Amino acid sequence: MSDLPDLTGKHVAIIATDHFEETELTTPRDSLEEAGADVRIYAPHTGNLQAMSGDVDKTISVRVDGTLDEFDPAWADVLVVPGGTVNSDHLRTEERAQQIVQQVLASGTPVAAICHAPWLLVSAGLVQGRRLTSFPSLAVDIRNAGGEWVDETVVVDENLITSRNPDDLPAFVSAIGDALTA
């Protein structure tokens, strides 16, 4: 998948919790690592996270590199938030996850959220006046929070990158690569 430029020296943080959509975490992680980036996964707890396929089938387990409380927003050159309905629903209620996306977005660092992950942006109060996409069922939530929802493969609004679903991963990862080399 990766036609990314050399990302050696770049730091990528992924925040997630259990029941994330497997490919929405592993595809960006693997592609960015192959391009030389240092990729770390942060979660509300230590240990491993359970991945899912289509929200219903358990797949792999992924090791956590640190907790949300241990995450330093200044370390990251980009923050990636994978989807998965359960992951996103739980993550959006995590106060520390909300603080992280608020701090990272306010600093000008790119935030990349795919599928159901923009729920975290809604809960953190970050979609007002922004143009973004997501899984279609979030369109009403985004509009109600003052955002402009569009049905596009990838949307880049300043330092916010969003995509709709796993089919959009090539464009999503490419946009992350572009943001890291801009």
Domain contains 157: yes
- pTM score: 0.97
What pLDDT, in 10s, does the model give residues 61-117?
999 999 999 999 999 999 999 999 999 999 999 999 999 999 999 999 999 999 999
Structural tokens at position 52: 């899912």
Domain contains 4: no
Domain contains 6: no
Q: 16, 115, 122, 175: which one is catalytic?
A: 115
Residue 2 has a pLDDT of 59
Number of neighbouring beta carbons within 10 Å of residue 177: 22
Q: Burial code of 103-134, b = ≥16 C-beta within 10 A, e = fewer? A: bbbeeebbbbbbbbbbbbbbbbebbeebbbbb
- Tell me 45's DSSP state: S
Residues 6 or more apart in contact with residue 141 via CB below 8 angstroms: 119, 122
Domain contains 1: no
Residue 1 has a pLDDT of 47
Q: How many domains does the chain have?
A: 1
Q: Chain centroid to CA 34: how far?
A: 18
Q: For this structure, is 115 an active site residue?
A: yes
- Spatial separation of the C-alpha atoms in residues 33 and 40, rounded to whole Å: 10
Domain contains 87: yes
Q: Which domain holds residue 69?
A: 11-181
Q: What is the CATH number of the domain that holds 129?
A: 3.40.50.880
Domain contains 2: no
Domain contains 29: yes
Residue 118 has a pLDDT of 98
Domain contains 139: yes
